[in-house]
Amino acid sequence: EYAEFLHCKSKKFTDFDEVRQEIEAETDRVTGTNKGISPIPINLRVYSPHVLNLTLIDLPGITKVPVGDQPQDIEYQIKDMILQFISRESSLILAVTPANMDLANSDALKMAKEVDPQGLRTIGVITKLDLMDEGTDARDVLENKLLPLRRGYIGVVNRSQKDIDGKKDIRAALAAERKFFLSHPAYRHMADRMGTPHLQKVLNQQLTNHIRETLPSLRSKLQSQLLSLEKEVEEYKNFRPDDPTRKTKALLQMVQQFGVDFEKRIEGSGDQVDTLELSGGARINRIFHERFPFELVKMEFDEKDLRREISYAIKNIHGRGCRTGLFTPDLAFEAIVKKQVVKLKEPCLKCVDLVIQELINTVRQCTSKLGSYPRLREETERIVTTHIREREGKTKDQILLLIDIELSYINTNHEDFIGFANAQQRNTQTNKKRAIPNQVRPPAPRSSLVAWGRGCRRVGSSPLPGNGISPLKPKAISLGSTLPGTGRRQDRHLLPAPCPGCRGQRTWRRDLCLTSTSLPSSTQSKDPDSNLCPAFPEQTENEDGAQENTFSMDPQLERQVETIRNLVDSYVGIINKSIRDLMPKTIMHLMINN
């Protein structure tokens, strides 16, 4: 009898002390001398007439606390190593557990149950039966009553460390084991099913049966692999590397695969789903339904400028500047609406640019599989990108055409359009809500402030004494108007206009600006230049004062401005709704689907 190591093929070991020393030496060579571990097995074959045909893989025990050079995650490394071997369906598992340890805490049985939950491949082995406390035994475990296994449990008594150090003979150890089971009252009735020799026979028999059971499936698997290999070999028998037909076929396959990948990324059914960010069709969908509506909302016009434009349009249409028309002109409504519709061109074209960028990024992602053929990848990207750019021009022309179509005819008969009557009614309701309750028109004070020149001056029933300057005509804020420079609505009653200092503020203090009767005597100086608005004592000339004051309107003009403002809101909302619906459809038809 002799032994051979796989790493020492030419050498036969007849002394098993040398075998033991070679195992220790090879372990130190691979893992070091300070208790390191390695998943590389040491292959040892023993040839003897006294052993059975058996392949045994001795796995390490699970270490909880690292020692020496062992890594901090030693426990998880050993578990992974064990699972690599016991997970194979063609292997049997020996779950070795010491008898002086609670079976419910056995790591071996726990891991075996993870990979073999029905216990079809697990054999329980109970060791150290001779070290149990007096009065206790493992009879229930060995009789398969406590934690049943399909293949049962076998008890063994190995040599102690003292016996190993004293070099006790294996035959003597087997005889002592046999004597222990025959003499122990708890195991006497099952002695013929206990011990190392019985374990060898059971393992040999069960391994043979297990191989017999798994052999048919293994044979069919090998046959299918053999057929596929033979077919592949047949293809390569007449293989010519320079055959142009093979190159053309490979080229067509790669291009076809590129098309499939591109379509899957756009449709959202790709083989590689990105879990970190949106890509492909999902990003285009977000542009359609989140980014583009946001760009339309961001295009909000300035309320003050819009009202000024409406008032200018009304005045210019009426002509002769000195009169105000009795009816709201529809030409002013059309002019303002068309100006707002033209502004839609910029966000629409920007939406197309965003979609194009996403398409180009998707093309580059799909051509990454062509990395082994850089010229093919470059040419594929160039051709597809050029086609996308061609479709870009047609798509943008179509979108501009849609906006021009909206400009060509203002459909005031649209079912969602509020109409002039509803706009005026809404205007009246708005003014009622804004009116201050229980407010009466204030009587003209004995001495009131009027806006002129550089601020609020005090004026009585006669010209200001001592300055020789007659007061300017008081400026007034009319029915439902907006405070100059603030964009804020005022009440329905005629009130004196605020001074330039008040006009630039968010809140106009009427109590400080309307009348001077409550001013301290110190502020009522005879010098007209000193009687400025008490709310803002330091005021400067506003260069834009004249331009801002032109925005003050009479009640009739203000009502017309508010009516057109409501009409513009209604019609622009209809246009936005239509554009939000048509933009994705146009881009999909002319660009993405194409």
Per DSSP, the residues of 104-166 read GG-HHHHHHHHH-TT-SSEEEEEE-GGGSPTT---HHHHTT-SS--TT-EEE-----HHHHHT
- At 582 the pLDDT is 92
CA-CA-CA-CA torsion for 75, 76, 80, 82, nearest 10 degrees?
20
How many angstroms separate the CA atoms of 63 and 74, rounded?
Answer: 7
Residues 6+ apart with CB under 8 A from 292: 347, 351, 580, 583, 584
How many angstroms separate the CA atoms of 390 and 590, rounded?
Answer: 10
Class level of CATH domain 245-429+553-593: mainly alpha
- At 67 the pLDDT is 83
Task: Classify 508 as helix, strand or coil.
Answer: coil
Contact 332, 313 (CB under 8 A): yes
242-275 burial code (b ≥16 CB/10 A, e <16):
eeeeeeeeeeeebeeebeebbebbbeeebeeeee
Beta-sheet pairing, 93-98 with 122-127: parallel
How many angstroms separate the CA atoms of 89 and 39, rounded?
Answer: 20
Task: Classify 47 as helix, strand or coil.
Answer: strand
Tell me the CATH number of domain 88-237, given options 3.40.30.10, 3.40.50.300, 3.30.70.270, 1.10.3720.10: 3.40.50.300
- At 34 the pLDDT is 77
> 88-237 and 245-429+553-593: same fold?
no
Mean pLDDT of each 10-residue bin along the chain, 594 residues long: 86 88 88 80 89 84 82 86 88 90 87 89 92 88 88 91 85 91 91 91 86 86 92 79 80 89 79 64 88 82 73 69 56 83 90 92 88 90 92 93 90 79 65 50 42 38 39 40 44 44 42 39 42 41 42 66 81 88 92 87
How many angstroms separate the CA atoms of 484 and 580, rounded?
Answer: 35
- At 384 the pLDDT is 92
How many angstroms separate the CA atoms of 477 and 187, rounded?
Answer: 113
Residue type, 276: L
Strand partners, 414: none
CA-CA-CA-CA torsion for 82, 88, 89, 90, nearest 10 degrees?
-100
Q: Angle, nearest 10°, between helix axes 555-587 and 303-318?
A: 110
- At 69 the pLDDT is 76
Q: In the chain, helix, strand, coil percent, each to 5?
A: 55, 10, 40
Take residue 359 and report the two structure tokens written for it: 């398409």
- At 328 the pLDDT is 57
Nearest CA to 90 out of 58, 41, 57, 42 is that of 57
How many angstroms separate the CA atoms of 444 and 122, rounded?
Answer: 107
- At 365 the pLDDT is 86
Take residue 311 and report the two structure tokens written for it: 């008032």
Q: Which long-range contacts (CB under 8 A, 24 or more apart) does 373-377 make?
A: 373/254, 376/251, 376/254
- At 228 the pLDDT is 92
Residue 125 sits at φ, ψ, to 5 deg, of -125, 120
pTM of the model: 0.41
Take residue 377 and report the two structure tokens written for it: 């990848």
Strand partners, 2: 47
How many angstroms separate the CA atoms of 200 and 51, rounded?
Answer: 9
How many angstroms separate the CA atoms of 353 and 393, rounded?
Answer: 11
- Domain boundaries of the chain, sorted by first residue: 1-73, 88-237, 245-429+553-593
Residues 6+ apart with CB under 8 A from 419: 412
- At 96 the pLDDT is 93
